[in-house]
Amino acid sequence: MEIIAIFGYLASILIGVSLGLIGGGGSILTVPVLVYLFQVNPVMATAYSLFIVGATSLVGSFNSYRKGLVDIKTAVVFGIPSIAAVYGTRKWIIPAIPNELFAVGDFLVTKSILLMLLFAVLMVAASFSMIKKGKAEEAETGPRVFNYPLILLEGVVVGTLTGLVGAGGGFLIIPALVVLSKLPMKMAVGTSLLIIAAKSLLGFLGDASNYEMDWTLLASVTGLSVAGIFLGGWLNNFISGQKLKPAFGWFVLVMGIYILLKETLFR
């Protein structure tokens, strides 16, 4: 086994550890791990990521449900438009994007480069939400309300982004659930895992007929990620996930900038 693949399998565990420890962020690592450590084509990596993130989040959501930390009504209201958007994006929009888009001088922008650049921008945005304590953590109090129009709109936006780049979008979902539905933070995290699982796994079905999957790699990475979420949940008894969140945010920021530079200046 190549050394780079060993790092890939170790990073697969980290994906789950992050989801179990801080309730998100792990999915943002999945595509870079697949592309740079397992040498998977970026378009295929976004498809694989949906399955890996979906399966890992589903396991995490079962644990949260046992603890009474999943709001089913909110998950349904947010999840339905999100699932529809991610499925449609994977089924029709991604296949419709041409392999070669446009050229800037000698630099040819392909579908793969576009998706990696979009993913890098999403990583940078996610890093800021993890580094800076936002209003989400301060907005847990107040009467339970449902801002249905904004929840539905957010569901469509998150679903489309998930379909394009293969990330779970927990850094977008959790603040939306806290601010728009007045969920307590821990319940927002648990509900987010269920939403991510449903939209990612159903979105993956949109790819089932478009690509030939490497099920051996997919099962290996998914299994390690699921093991990681149990490890992260155990570590949560000893380490504060909220205190680790900013440090992880800085790591994601560096990774995002690295991808931007690698896909543009250092190809």
Secondary structure of the chain in HEC code, one letter for each residue: CCHHHHHHHHHHHHHHHHHHHHCCCCHHHHHHHHHHHCCCCHHHHHHHHHHHHHHHHHHHHHHHHHCCCCCHHHHHHHHHHHHHHHHHHHHHHHHHCCCEEEEECCEEEEHHHHHHHHHHHHHHHHHHHHHCCCHHHHCCCCCCCCCHHHHHHHHHHHHHHHHHHCCCCHHHHHHHHHHHHCCCHHHHHHHHHHHHHHHHHHHHHCCCCCCCCCHHHHHHHHHHHHHHHHHHHHHCCCCCHHHHHHHHHHHHHHHHHHHHHHHHCCC
Residue 146's pLDDT is what?
A: 67
Residue 219's pLDDT is what?
A: 95
Residue 257's pLDDT is what?
A: 94
Residue 114's pLDDT is what?
A: 93
Residue 167's pLDDT is what?
A: 76
Residue 5's pLDDT is what?
A: 87
Would you list the domain boundaries of the chain?
3-264
Note the pTM of the prediction, 2 decimals: 0.85
pLDDT < 50: residue spans in the chain: 136
